[in-house]
Structure 1
Amino acid sequence: MNGVVEVFLDETPGETRGAVMRDGRYTHLLIQRDGDPAQTRLGARSIGRVTEVNQGLRGAFVDIGVDAAAFLPFPRNDRLSQGERLEVVVTAEPRAGKGAVVRRLGPGEGTPRLLQAAPSIAEQLRELAPGEESVVGIAAIDAVIEAEEEAMARSCVFASHGIDLAIERTRALVAVDIDFASTPGRDPKQARAVANREGLRQAARLIGLRNWAGLVVIDLVGDGQDAEAQAKTARTAFAHEPQAVFGPISRFGLLQLSLPWRRTPIEEVLRDADGCVSAQTRALSLVRALRRQLLSDTRSARITARCAPEEAAIAGPLAARLGPRAHVQADVAIPAGHGRIEES
């Protein structure tokens, strides 16, 4: 991708975040929490032990030293045996209750254990934007918060192109609807082409920002009469993903494609199993706000984050790492998610 690239790195106690912005739009949000199992991060190498071979799934389940077994797909003619030791690398992080997916590198020895940690957030940012220096401090805090807000939005409006883009992930697929309001006086065919081009570009960006993959179905503007041109536009929009597989565009204007899973979806990182923002996420957000205030206000002797007891229990030890001016105060009168920062 060409254009202006900005890279942000926020290292708040308990969580490191990275964000990449291209031409004023976020394309990547990376989140790594202190408690995340190192063995399940993308790119981590481990010794694993085969615990089950499932020919029906054409794969095996492998113990890599964490609670959930990793899944190792293998070609039909491959042979693995229960108890076999392997060296593996994570190719897809856990998601939707499933363990990590790994690839075999070769034989292994000894008990399941981590051999080499996955690249850090800073290293991943350097790979995504070579030669770009990461912005830190207040600007980075603001950027990763903005990237999170966009990643969690259900729809996005791009007024300059007359597009309302709705994007939703279900258990089976990612559904995208490009809704277009035509401008009077413009050639309808040309207007649809422009809307589809921008809609596909933004859809590809948002899917990447949210770490989504699998089957993607996109409802294009129009009825598929310009299928060849639309297919070319789609391939350009997803050119950053070399493993994308495209299906034909239907006569109803539906495009189907498949994208490989790699990272845990952002909403699964931030929310609990019920779909609500988790206590850990709320606490980390409060610590991040506290850190931002400490950076912007260097004169106050004490800055306190007052919050619900459940959040204070998580945020307290993390805030202590920010220095003697930072404090967390539990307050039963404050509802969960409504913590506030106070100066004194």
Structure 2
Amino acid sequence: MSGAVEVFLDETPGETRGAILRDGRYTHLLIQRDDDPAQARLGARSIGRIAEVNPGLRGAFVDLGDAPAFLPFNRNDRLSQGQRLEVVVTAEPRAAKCAVVRRLGPGEGAPRLLEAASTVAAQLRMLAPDTELITGLAAVDAVMEAEEEALARTHVFSAHGVDLSLERTRALVAVDIDHAPRPGRDAKQGRAAANREGLKQAARLIGLRRWGGLVVVDLAGDGQDAEAQAKTARAAFAHERQAVFGSVSRFGLLELSLPWRRTPLEEVLLDADGRPTLQTRTLSLVRRLRRHMMSDTTTPRIVVRCAPDEAALVAPLASRLGPRALVLADVAAPAGRGRIEES
């Protein structure tokens, strides 16, 4: 990817976020929460103990100390229960699946963390080298905007006549590219342009949401231009070297497979019903409080008034913002509707 790049780092008590904006569109939203199991983060290196060998799954379950993990093995591998190994996380937990690890070599001693995963700041520098990190109010706004875009179900790119829908099911990620033809424009060229933009934006949004697995794309039009459509898809996902592409069917359906690496964004932020979790609501209140304090440096007290269960979690985090921050529990405040007031 090329073009104008802005990189944002927001360090709010309880959670650090990073966002990357390329050509006016968010491509990455990184989140690390203080209470995330350190040994389950992508890239963390640990000593693990084989807790169970499961030949049927062609793998073993590994005790990392503060988190379980799954270690795939080859047919010729010989592992035994209780064996110690040095491992590195290659995929974070998702849904009912634990983290996936790769064996680095033999290990000794109790399960423990050897080397923590990269910080959000370090990841941002790796993804966008030689780009200055933007902090402060701009960073707070950016990570909130990136979250809003990532969780949206549909996206309209009117300049290209594209209506894009993305949905993740248990089995796959479904992408639907709809095209609204423009009067006076060649229909075939219009569909080709819509598919180029739709695939480009789908690749960006799938990365933003941290999805992987099987992806099925319903392209605009049929599969008469299958070769050109496949080439367009490969270009859109060129940043993902482990992507595996199928052919475009005569119905205009494209299948591809992407690796899983990080916990999907919705599993970090939302509950099973698609609503923000208590932790997400809590951290959002702290971020809003911090933003207000940065934008108003003269008011003696900035108060967040919220539901009692939220207040109990917000209070210790808000105390790290200094004496100007005050948290009040309000039994009348609906969940997720906390208010920021000046006092």
TM-score by length of 1: 0.99
One-letter amino acid of the counterpart of residue 239, structure 1? A
One-letter amino acid of the counterpart of residue 35, structure 1? D
Aligned counterpart, 1:123: 122
1:92-171 pair list within 5 angstroms = 92-171=91-170
Q: How far did 1:325 drift?
A: 0.3
Q: How far did 1:272 drift?
A: 2.3
1:185-334 pair list within 5 angstroms = 185-334=184-333
State the SS of the aligned residue for 1:294. Answer: helix
> How far apart, CA to CA, are the structure 1 residues paired with 2:132 and 2:72?
38
> How far apart, CA to CA, are the structure 2 residues paired with 1:162 and 1:313?
48
Aligned counterpart, 2:41: 41
Aligned counterpart, 2:57: 57
Q: Does structure 1 residue 11 correspond to structure 2 residue 11?
A: yes
How far does the alpha carbon of each residue in 1:33-90 deviate from its partner, in whole angstroms, 9 at most, with x for none?
Answer: 00001000000000001111111211111111124x2011112221211111100000
> How far apart, CA to CA, are the structure 2 residues paired with 1:54 and 1:284?
39
How far does the alpha carbon of each residue in 1:78-134 deviate from its partner, in whole angstroms, 9 at most, with x for none?
Answer: 121111110000000000021100000000001110000000000000010011111
- Runs of 4+ deviating beyond 4 Å: none
How far does the alpha carbon of each residue in 1:261-305 deviate from its partner, in whole angstroms, 9 at most, with x for none?
Answer: 000011100112443211111111011000001001011000000
Aligned counterpart, 2:342: 343
State the SS of the aligned residue for 2:57. Answer: coil
One-letter amino acid of the counterpart of residue 317, structure 2? L
Q: How far did 1:260 drift?
A: 0.3
> How far apart, CA to CA, are the structure 1 residues paired with 2:53 and 2:278?
37
One-letter amino acid of the counterpart of residue 102, structure 2? R
> How far apart, CA to CA, are the structure 1 residues paired with 2:291 and 2:73?
47
More deviation in 73-82 or 110-119?
73-82
TM-score by length of 2: 0.99
> How far apart, CA to CA, are the structure 1 residues paired with 2:293 and 2:50?
49
> How far apart, CA to CA, are the structure 2 residues paired with 1:272 and 1:140?
26
Aligned counterpart, 2:29: 29
State the SS of the aligned residue for 1:321. Answer: helix
> How far apart, CA to CA, are the structure 1 residues paired with 2:101 and 2:135?
33
1:62-77 pair list within 5 angstroms = 62-67=62-67, 69-77=68-76
> How far apart, CA to CA, are the structure 2 residues paired with 1:311 and 1:159?
40
One-letter amino acid of the counterpart of residue 37, structure 1? P
Percent of aligned positions that are identical: 76
> How far apart, CA to CA, are the structure 1 residues paired with 2:136 and 2:298?
17
State the SS of the aligned residue for 1:241. Answer: coil
Q: How far did 1:339 drift?
A: 0.5
Q: How far did 1:13 drift?
A: 0.2
> How far apart, CA to CA, are the structure 2 residues paired with 1:171 and 1:29?
23
One-letter amino acid of the counterpart of residue 258, structure 1? S
The unaligned stretches of length 5 or more in structure 2 are none
> How far apart, CA to CA, are the structure 2 residues paired with 1:99 and 1:274?
21
How far does the alpha carbon of each residue in 1:239-276 deviate from its partner, in whole angstroms, 9 at most, with x for none?
Answer: 01000000111110000000000000111001124432
> How far apart, CA to CA, are the structure 1 residues paired with 2:241 and 2:78?
29
Q: How far did 1:318 drift?
A: 0.2
More deviation in 48-57 or 85-94?
48-57
One-letter amino acid of the counterpart of residue 207, structure 2? G
State the SS of the aligned residue for 1:248. Answer: strand
> How far apart, CA to CA, are the structure 2 residues paired with 1:249 and 1:73?
31
